[in-house]
Amino acid sequence: MWSIEQIIGALNQWLQHTLGNVGAAIAAYILLGIFVILFFSVLGLVLVYMERKVSAWMQVRLGPNRVGPKGLLQTLADTLKLMSKEGLTPAGADRFLFNLAPVLMIVVSMLLLAPVAFARNVQIWDLNIGVLYVSAISSVSVLAVLIAGWSSNNKYSLLGAMRSGAQIVSYELSAGFAILTVAVLSGSLQVSQIIESQQTGWWIFRGHLPVWVATVVYLIAVTAETNRAPFDLAEAESELTAGFHTEYSGMKFALFFLAEYANVFIASAIGATLFLGGWMPLHIGNWEAFNRVMDWIPSSIWFLAKTFFLIFVIMWFRWTFPRLRIDQLLELEWKYLLPIGLVNLILATAIAVLGWHF
Protein backbone atom coordinates (compact mmCIF):
# COMPACT_ATOMS: atom_id res chain seq x y z
CA MET A 1 0.00 0.00 0.00
CA TRP A 2 1.30 3.45 -0.92
CA SER A 3 2.01 5.74 2.02
CA ILE A 4 3.10 9.37 2.40
CA GLU A 5 6.64 8.14 3.16
CA GLN A 6 6.84 6.25 -0.15
CA ILE A 7 5.36 9.13 -2.15
CA ILE A 8 7.81 11.67 -0.67
CA GLY A 9 10.72 9.28 -1.20
CA ALA A 10 9.80 8.76 -4.86
CA LEU A 11 9.36 12.53 -5.37
CA ASN A 12 12.75 13.24 -3.76
CA GLN A 13 14.49 10.70 -5.98
CA TRP A 14 12.85 12.16 -9.09
CA LEU A 15 13.91 15.72 -8.12
CA GLN A 16 17.51 14.65 -7.50
CA HIS A 17 17.64 12.73 -10.78
CA THR A 18 16.14 15.67 -12.71
CA LEU A 19 17.65 18.75 -11.01
CA GLY A 20 20.70 17.48 -9.14
CA ASN A 21 21.35 17.86 -5.42
CA VAL A 22 21.30 21.70 -5.23
CA GLY A 23 18.32 22.10 -7.54
CA ALA A 24 16.44 19.34 -5.73
CA ALA A 25 17.04 21.07 -2.36
CA ILE A 26 15.74 24.42 -3.69
CA ALA A 27 12.73 22.76 -5.33
CA ALA A 28 12.02 20.83 -2.11
CA TYR A 29 11.91 24.07 -0.06
CA ILE A 30 9.56 25.69 -2.60
CA LEU A 31 7.27 22.65 -2.64
CA LEU A 32 7.37 22.54 1.17
CA GLY A 33 6.20 26.15 1.41
CA ILE A 34 3.38 25.50 -1.06
CA PHE A 35 2.41 22.37 0.86
CA VAL A 36 2.19 24.23 4.20
CA ILE A 37 -0.03 26.96 2.70
CA LEU A 38 -2.30 24.44 0.97
CA PHE A 39 -2.38 22.24 4.07
CA PHE A 40 -3.52 25.12 6.27
CA SER A 41 -6.19 26.12 3.75
CA VAL A 42 -7.62 22.60 3.50
CA LEU A 43 -7.28 22.08 7.25
CA GLY A 44 -9.38 25.18 7.93
CA LEU A 45 -12.14 23.96 5.62
CA VAL A 46 -12.14 20.47 7.12
CA LEU A 47 -12.09 21.52 10.78
CA VAL A 48 -14.80 24.18 10.41
CA TYR A 49 -17.05 21.62 8.72
CA MET A 50 -16.18 19.05 11.40
CA GLU A 51 -16.93 21.56 14.18
CA ARG A 52 -20.36 22.29 12.74
CA LYS A 53 -21.23 18.64 12.24
CA VAL A 54 -20.00 17.64 15.71
CA SER A 55 -21.99 20.44 17.36
CA ALA A 56 -25.07 19.47 15.31
CA TRP A 57 -24.71 15.83 16.31
CA MET A 58 -24.43 16.74 20.00
CA GLN A 59 -27.44 19.05 19.78
CA VAL A 60 -29.52 16.51 17.76
CA ARG A 61 -29.76 18.57 14.57
CA LEU A 62 -28.40 18.35 11.03
CA GLY A 63 -25.84 21.14 10.74
CA PRO A 64 -24.75 22.32 7.25
CA ASN A 65 -26.89 20.48 4.67
CA ARG A 66 -27.70 22.96 1.87
CA VAL A 67 -24.53 23.99 0.03
CA GLY A 68 -23.17 20.92 -1.75
CA PRO A 69 -23.78 17.27 -0.82
CA LYS A 70 -24.26 16.97 2.95
CA GLY A 71 -23.26 20.64 3.24
CA LEU A 72 -19.64 19.87 2.24
CA LEU A 73 -19.28 23.14 0.30
CA GLN A 74 -20.62 25.36 3.10
CA THR A 75 -17.16 26.21 4.46
CA LEU A 76 -15.94 26.94 0.92
CA ALA A 77 -18.85 29.38 0.51
CA ASP A 78 -17.94 31.03 3.82
CA THR A 79 -14.32 31.35 2.64
CA LEU A 80 -15.41 33.07 -0.58
CA LYS A 81 -17.60 35.40 1.48
CA LEU A 82 -14.67 36.39 3.72
CA MET A 83 -12.40 36.90 0.71
CA SER A 84 -14.93 39.23 -0.90
CA LYS A 85 -15.44 41.36 2.22
CA GLU A 86 -13.63 44.67 2.56
CA GLY A 87 -10.90 44.74 5.17
CA LEU A 88 -11.53 47.83 7.30
CA THR A 89 -9.04 49.59 9.59
CA PRO A 90 -10.44 51.78 12.41
CA ALA A 91 -9.56 55.47 12.20
CA GLY A 92 -7.76 55.52 15.57
CA ALA A 93 -5.90 52.23 15.10
CA ASP A 94 -2.15 51.78 14.74
CA ARG A 95 -2.25 50.74 11.09
CA PHE A 96 1.08 48.87 10.96
CA LEU A 97 0.52 46.82 14.12
CA PHE A 98 -3.15 46.28 13.25
CA ASN A 99 -2.12 44.64 9.97
CA LEU A 100 0.86 42.83 11.50
CA ALA A 101 -1.09 40.94 14.20
CA PRO A 102 -3.04 38.47 11.99
CA VAL A 103 0.04 37.78 9.86
CA LEU A 104 2.13 37.09 12.98
CA MET A 105 -0.60 34.78 14.29
CA ILE A 106 -0.66 32.58 11.20
CA VAL A 107 3.15 32.59 10.84
CA VAL A 108 3.52 31.28 14.41
CA SER A 109 1.06 28.47 13.58
CA MET A 110 3.06 27.57 10.47
CA LEU A 111 6.31 27.50 12.47
CA LEU A 112 4.73 25.10 14.95
CA LEU A 113 4.16 22.62 12.14
CA ALA A 114 7.93 22.04 11.72
CA PRO A 115 8.59 19.25 14.29
CA VAL A 116 5.28 17.41 13.75
CA ALA A 117 5.87 13.86 12.44
CA PHE A 118 3.05 13.16 9.98
CA ALA A 119 4.27 9.63 9.22
CA ARG A 120 7.38 7.48 9.47
CA ASN A 121 10.33 9.61 8.25
CA VAL A 122 7.94 12.43 7.22
CA GLN A 123 8.87 15.49 9.24
CA ILE A 124 9.77 19.03 8.21
CA TRP A 125 12.46 19.50 10.89
CA ASP A 126 13.46 16.87 13.42
CA LEU A 127 15.42 19.10 15.77
CA ASN A 128 16.75 17.62 19.00
CA ILE A 129 14.61 19.89 21.20
CA GLY A 130 11.36 19.43 19.29
CA VAL A 131 8.86 19.61 22.17
CA LEU A 132 10.78 22.52 23.76
CA TYR A 133 10.62 24.31 20.38
CA VAL A 134 6.83 23.85 20.33
CA SER A 135 6.46 25.25 23.86
CA ALA A 136 8.68 28.25 23.04
CA ILE A 137 7.15 29.17 19.67
CA SER A 138 3.55 28.70 20.85
CA SER A 139 4.07 31.39 23.49
CA VAL A 140 4.80 33.93 20.72
CA SER A 141 1.13 33.77 19.70
CA VAL A 142 0.23 35.79 22.80
CA LEU A 143 2.20 38.70 21.30
CA ALA A 144 -0.05 38.64 18.22
CA VAL A 145 -3.14 38.70 20.46
CA LEU A 146 -1.80 41.59 22.57
CA ILE A 147 -0.78 43.55 19.46
CA ALA A 148 -4.22 43.02 17.91
CA GLY A 149 -6.02 44.15 21.06
CA TRP A 150 -3.88 47.23 21.69
CA SER A 151 -3.60 48.42 18.08
CA SER A 152 -7.38 48.26 17.49
CA ASN A 153 -8.00 51.27 19.77
CA ASN A 154 -11.06 49.50 21.15
CA LYS A 155 -11.70 48.86 24.84
CA TYR A 156 -13.33 45.48 24.18
CA SER A 157 -10.37 44.39 22.07
CA LEU A 158 -7.90 45.51 24.75
CA LEU A 159 -9.80 43.71 27.53
CA GLY A 160 -9.92 40.52 25.43
CA ALA A 161 -6.21 40.76 24.69
CA MET A 162 -5.30 41.22 28.37
CA ARG A 163 -7.46 38.26 29.32
CA SER A 164 -5.84 36.14 26.63
CA GLY A 165 -2.36 37.13 27.77
CA ALA A 166 -3.06 36.08 31.36
CA GLN A 167 -4.75 32.89 30.18
CA ILE A 168 -2.07 31.71 27.75
CA VAL A 169 0.85 32.51 30.06
CA SER A 170 -0.88 30.70 32.94
CA TYR A 171 -1.88 27.51 31.15
CA GLU A 172 1.46 27.18 29.35
CA LEU A 173 2.92 26.08 32.68
CA SER A 174 0.57 23.12 33.04
CA ALA A 175 1.00 22.16 29.39
CA GLY A 176 4.77 22.32 29.88
CA PHE A 177 4.66 20.02 32.92
CA ALA A 178 2.52 17.52 30.97
CA ILE A 179 5.01 17.56 28.08
CA LEU A 180 7.96 17.15 30.46
CA THR A 181 6.30 14.11 32.02
CA VAL A 182 6.61 12.20 28.74
CA ALA A 183 10.03 13.72 28.00
CA VAL A 184 11.33 12.35 31.33
CA LEU A 185 9.91 8.87 30.67
CA SER A 186 11.23 8.73 27.09
CA GLY A 187 14.56 10.36 27.98
CA SER A 188 14.47 12.80 25.06
CA LEU A 189 13.02 16.09 23.82
CA GLN A 190 13.30 15.00 20.16
CA VAL A 191 9.96 14.12 18.58
CA SER A 192 11.28 11.16 16.55
CA GLN A 193 12.92 9.62 19.63
CA ILE A 194 9.78 10.10 21.74
CA ILE A 195 7.83 8.19 19.07
CA GLU A 196 10.49 5.45 18.85
CA SER A 197 10.36 5.04 22.65
CA GLN A 198 6.74 3.91 22.22
CA GLN A 199 7.57 1.06 19.85
CA THR A 200 6.65 -1.54 22.49
CA GLY A 201 3.57 0.39 23.63
CA TRP A 202 2.17 3.89 23.73
CA TRP A 203 2.95 5.91 26.86
CA ILE A 204 -0.77 6.17 27.68
CA PHE A 205 -0.61 2.39 28.36
CA ARG A 206 2.96 2.06 29.65
CA GLY A 207 3.31 5.18 31.81
CA HIS A 208 0.84 4.31 34.56
CA LEU A 209 -0.94 7.05 36.52
CA PRO A 210 1.47 9.95 35.72
CA VAL A 211 0.81 9.75 31.97
CA TRP A 212 -2.95 9.46 32.46
CA VAL A 213 -2.90 12.57 34.65
CA ALA A 214 -0.57 14.35 32.19
CA THR A 215 -2.94 13.56 29.31
CA VAL A 216 -5.94 15.08 31.10
CA VAL A 217 -3.95 18.14 32.22
CA TYR A 218 -2.53 18.61 28.70
CA LEU A 219 -5.97 18.49 27.04
CA ILE A 220 -7.38 21.05 29.49
CA ALA A 221 -4.32 23.31 29.16
CA VAL A 222 -4.18 23.33 25.35
CA THR A 223 -7.93 23.94 25.18
CA ALA A 224 -7.32 27.06 27.26
CA GLU A 225 -4.20 28.05 25.29
CA THR A 226 -6.07 27.92 21.99
CA ASN A 227 -8.89 30.10 23.42
CA ARG A 228 -11.46 27.37 22.92
CA ALA A 229 -14.67 27.12 24.94
CA PRO A 230 -15.18 26.76 27.85
CA PHE A 231 -12.01 28.88 28.14
CA ASP A 232 -12.82 31.42 25.40
CA LEU A 233 -12.74 34.41 27.76
CA ALA A 234 -10.61 36.38 25.30
CA GLU A 235 -13.46 36.50 22.78
CA ALA A 236 -16.54 36.06 24.97
CA GLU A 237 -19.34 37.30 22.71
CA SER A 238 -21.74 38.07 25.55
CA GLU A 239 -19.17 40.26 27.31
CA LEU A 240 -16.60 41.55 24.80
CA THR A 241 -18.36 41.41 21.40
CA ALA A 242 -15.58 39.38 19.73
CA GLY A 243 -12.69 40.17 22.04
CA PHE A 244 -9.29 40.95 20.60
CA HIS A 245 -10.43 40.64 16.95
CA THR A 246 -13.60 42.76 17.27
CA GLU A 247 -12.35 45.34 14.76
CA TYR A 248 -11.09 42.82 12.19
CA SER A 249 -12.99 41.89 9.04
CA GLY A 250 -12.43 40.15 5.74
CA MET A 251 -9.24 38.14 5.31
CA LYS A 252 -7.61 39.62 8.43
CA PHE A 253 -10.37 38.08 10.53
CA ALA A 254 -10.07 34.87 8.47
CA LEU A 255 -6.37 34.59 9.39
CA PHE A 256 -7.20 34.70 13.11
CA PHE A 257 -9.96 32.15 12.54
CA LEU A 258 -7.66 29.87 10.53
CA ALA A 259 -4.85 30.17 13.09
CA GLU A 260 -7.19 29.04 15.88
CA TYR A 261 -8.10 25.84 14.07
CA ALA A 262 -4.50 25.27 12.97
CA ASN A 263 -3.41 25.56 16.61
CA VAL A 264 -6.06 23.04 17.64
CA PHE A 265 -4.69 20.61 15.04
CA ILE A 266 -1.08 21.14 16.11
CA ALA A 267 -1.92 20.82 19.83
CA SER A 268 -3.77 17.56 19.08
CA ALA A 269 -0.91 16.33 16.89
CA ILE A 270 1.62 16.96 19.68
CA GLY A 271 -0.72 15.27 22.17
CA ALA A 272 -1.07 12.25 19.88
CA THR A 273 2.72 12.13 19.52
CA LEU A 274 3.41 12.32 23.25
CA PHE A 275 0.71 10.08 24.67
CA LEU A 276 -0.60 7.93 21.80
CA GLY A 277 2.56 7.05 19.92
CA GLY A 278 2.25 9.48 17.01
CA TRP A 279 2.42 7.50 13.76
CA MET A 280 3.39 4.32 15.66
CA PRO A 281 0.89 1.45 15.14
CA LEU A 282 -0.77 -0.30 18.07
CA HIS A 283 1.36 -3.26 19.13
CA ILE A 284 0.46 -5.74 21.86
CA GLY A 285 3.32 -7.74 23.35
CA ASN A 286 4.12 -10.89 21.41
CA TRP A 287 0.91 -10.94 19.36
CA GLU A 288 2.86 -11.18 16.10
CA ALA A 289 -0.11 -11.75 13.79
CA PHE A 290 -2.03 -8.83 15.32
CA ASN A 291 1.05 -6.59 15.18
CA ARG A 292 1.64 -7.42 11.50
CA VAL A 293 -1.94 -6.43 10.67
CA MET A 294 -1.44 -3.15 12.53
CA ASP A 295 1.81 -2.51 10.63
CA TRP A 296 -0.06 -2.96 7.34
CA ILE A 297 -2.05 0.24 8.06
CA PRO A 298 -0.03 3.26 6.77
CA SER A 299 1.67 5.29 9.50
CA SER A 300 0.03 8.50 8.23
CA ILE A 301 -3.42 6.95 8.84
CA TRP A 302 -2.46 6.14 12.41
CA PHE A 303 -1.23 9.69 12.98
CA LEU A 304 -4.33 11.35 11.49
CA ALA A 305 -6.73 9.02 13.31
CA LYS A 306 -5.18 9.81 16.70
CA THR A 307 -4.95 13.53 15.97
CA PHE A 308 -8.56 13.84 14.85
CA PHE A 309 -9.70 11.81 17.86
CA LEU A 310 -8.12 14.42 20.16
CA ILE A 311 -9.61 17.22 18.03
CA PHE A 312 -13.01 15.60 18.55
CA VAL A 313 -12.42 15.54 22.33
CA ILE A 314 -11.55 19.27 22.31
CA MET A 315 -14.72 20.00 20.30
CA TRP A 316 -16.65 17.83 22.75
CA PHE A 317 -15.47 20.14 25.54
CA ARG A 318 -16.83 23.16 23.68
CA TRP A 319 -20.34 21.79 23.27
CA THR A 320 -20.58 20.28 26.76
CA PHE A 321 -19.30 22.77 29.34
CA PRO A 322 -20.47 26.34 29.98
CA ARG A 323 -17.98 29.20 29.77
CA LEU A 324 -16.01 29.88 32.94
CA ARG A 325 -15.60 33.31 34.53
CA ILE A 326 -12.12 34.79 34.36
CA ASP A 327 -11.55 34.27 38.10
CA GLN A 328 -12.65 30.62 37.83
CA LEU A 329 -10.35 30.12 34.86
CA LEU A 330 -7.26 31.40 36.68
CA GLU A 331 -8.22 29.63 39.90
CA LEU A 332 -8.43 26.30 38.02
CA GLU A 333 -4.87 26.78 36.74
CA TRP A 334 -3.04 28.19 39.76
CA LYS A 335 -4.83 26.30 42.55
CA TYR A 336 -5.43 22.93 40.90
CA LEU A 337 -3.75 22.13 37.56
CA LEU A 338 -0.34 23.61 38.35
CA PRO A 339 0.16 21.80 41.71
CA ILE A 340 -1.19 18.56 40.22
CA GLY A 341 1.16 18.89 37.22
CA LEU A 342 4.17 19.56 39.45
CA VAL A 343 3.52 16.60 41.76
CA ASN A 344 2.79 14.42 38.73
CA LEU A 345 6.13 15.37 37.15
CA ILE A 346 7.98 14.43 40.34
CA LEU A 347 6.14 11.08 40.41
CA ALA A 348 6.97 10.44 36.73
CA THR A 349 10.64 11.24 37.41
CA ALA A 350 10.70 8.71 40.25
CA ILE A 351 9.11 6.06 38.01
CA ALA A 352 11.63 6.77 35.22
CA VAL A 353 14.64 6.63 37.59
CA LEU A 354 13.45 3.40 39.23
CA GLY A 355 12.39 1.86 35.89
CA TRP A 356 8.87 1.04 37.07
CA HIS A 357 7.17 1.72 33.74
CA PHE A 358 6.40 -1.20 31.42
pLDDT in tens, 289-340: 888 888 888 888 999 999 999 999 999 998 898 888 888 888 999 999 999 9
Sign of CA pseudo-dihedral 6, 11, 16, 18:
positive
Radius of gyration of the chain (CA): 21
- Quick one: DSSP state of residue 337? I
Q: What is the DSSP string of 120-159?
A: TTEES---TTHHHHHHHHHTTHHHHHHHHHHHTT-HHHHH
pLDDT in tens, 209-255: 999 999 999 999 999 988 888 888 776 666 666 778 888 888 888 89
Helix ranges (H only) for 197-298 are 203-206, 208-225, 237-240, 250-275, 288-296
Percent of the chain with pLDDT over 70: 96
pLDDT in tens, 178-204: 999 999 999 999 999 999 998 888 999
Q: Return the pLDDT at 174.
A: 93
- Report the C-alpha gap between 191 and 130 in whole angstroms: 6
| pTM: predicted TM-score of the whole model, two decimal places | 0.91
Which pLDDT band holds residue 160 (cuts at 50, 70, 90)? confident
- Report the C-alpha gap between 101 and 246 in whole angstroms: 13
Residue 139 pLDDT more than 90?
A: no
Q: Return the pLDDT at 1.
A: 45
pLDDT in tens, 59-112: 999 999 999 898 999 999 988 988 888 888 888 889 999 999 999 999 999 999
pLDDT in tens, 31-70: 888 988 999 989 999 999 999 999 999 999 999 999 989 8
Cα angle value 78/242/61 (rounded, 5°): 50
Q: Return the pLDDT at 250.
A: 86
